[in-house]
Copies of this chain bind each other. A is one copy, B any other.
Amino acid sequence: MFKPSGIIALTTDFQEDSFYIAEMKVAAYQVARDALIVDVTHAIPPQDVRHASWVLLRALESFPEGTVHVCVVDPGVGTDRKIVAVLIHGQVIIGPDNGLFDVVASRYPVRAVVDLNNEVYFGPRHSATFHGRDVMAPAAAHLVRGIPLESLGEALGEPLITPEKTAGLLAHRDGNVIEGEFILADSFGNMVTNIFAEDIPEEWNLRTIRIEFEGQKLTGLVSTYGDREPGEVVALLGSTGQLEVAIVQGDAAQKCGLRPGIPVKIVCE
């Protein structure tokens, strides 16, 4: 059972300046005028499904139960990829079934998946290139108005997410080494990894563990950026509990040449 909170959260690769964002909002408001629409970000790199899948995890962990997320990063728009609604962690995420859900599904159990194929709940406009406006935003707004998830289309019996798809997404520990990778830069250039606080055994000493990447070795985590001098490279557990590498008052992504996919490991000796 999904109980809507009235909040719709938008994550897209439209970029901030795009009128497509307004077109989606209008499509939602026309169904649910009192929806509270919150922009997560529209700056997903164009067509970068993997990046979006990590931002969706942040969003899922930030928004309250009952939120409907709409995520439009959809290079296959108009082809035969399905548009689905996934019930997970007390929230619904609507998006194309193109891998967007792999990260959240590797962290939380998927409760239901519905193929959004009931045209009754489509919007008034139809195009082959903008299903965010024509299908996803209207569906989100119908959920906000209390339409049951199962009314929006056919429940999918087979699992959307398979162990094969999610293998390699999360960090893994082998004895005294945790191996992960950088997943995205935040807006300050801090590089966030897929290593979570709970991946680190409690008995490890956070002040003496070694963080290794790209030939660099850092000793120990700091608590916050201000613990060191401007310009220094530091590692810390960021505001979502994920390991990140930062330069105090600087841009680590740029200055250290770090990109998503570059391996990072923690070693406890």
Q: Is A130 an interface residue (CB 8 A)?
A: yes
Is A77's CB under 8 angstroms from B224's CB?
yes
- A125 surroundings in chain B (CB, below 8 A): 239
**A20 CB-CB contact with B under 8 Å:** yes
Quick check: is A16 within 8 A (CB to CB) of the other chain?
yes
Max chain B Cβ within 10 angstroms of own Cβ: one of A9, A18, A42, A133? A18
**Please, which residues of chain B bring their CB within 8 A of the CB of A9?**
22
Contact B23 A75 (CB under 8 A): no
Min distance, Cβ A82 to any Cβ of chain B, angstroms: 13
- Of A59-67, A112-120, A170-178, the one touching chain B: A59-67
Judge whether B29 and A36 touch: CB under 8 Å: yes
Q: Is A41 an interface residue (CB 8 A)?
A: yes
Q: Is the CB of B46 within 8 A of A22?
A: no
A232 is an interface residue with CB less than 8 A from chain B: no
CB of A130, distance to nearest CB on chain B (Å) = 4
Shortest C-beta distance, A193 to chain B (Å), equals: 15
1/0 per residue, CB under 8 A from B, across A216-257: the answer is: 000000011111000000001011010000000100000000
A42 CB to closest chain B CB (Å) equals 7
Once bound together, how far apart are the Cα atoms of A130 and B21, in whole Å?
Answer: 26
Q: How far is the CA of A42 from the CA of B186 in the complex (A)?
A: 14
Known: A79-B226, A225-B129, A227-B78. A42 touches B17 (CB 8 A): yes
- If the complex has contacts A46-B249, A129-B236, A225-B77, are A26 and B38 also in contact, measured as CB distance less than 8 A? yes
A7 at the interface (CB under 8 A from B): yes
Interface residues on A, range: 35 or more
A39 within 8 A of B: yes
Given A25-B38, A29-B36, A46-B249, the answer on whether A128 and B18 have CB atoms closer than 8 Å is: no
Minimum C-beta distance from A222 to chain B (A) = 9
Contact of A23 among B62, B78, B79 (CB under 8 A): B62
Per the bound structure, the CA–CA distance linking A223 and B130 in Å amounts to 12
Roughly how many angstroms separate A217 CA and B64 CA in the complex, as a whole number?
52
Identify 21 residue pairs between A and B in the complex whose beta-carbon atoms are under 8 Å apart, listed by A's number: A6-B33, A15-B187, A16-B16, A17-B41, A18-B186, A19-B55, A19-B62, A19-B186, A20-B187, A22-B41, A22-B59, A23-B58, A25-B38, A26-B38, A30-B64, A75-B225, A77-B224, A77-B225, A78-B227, A128-B223, A129-B224
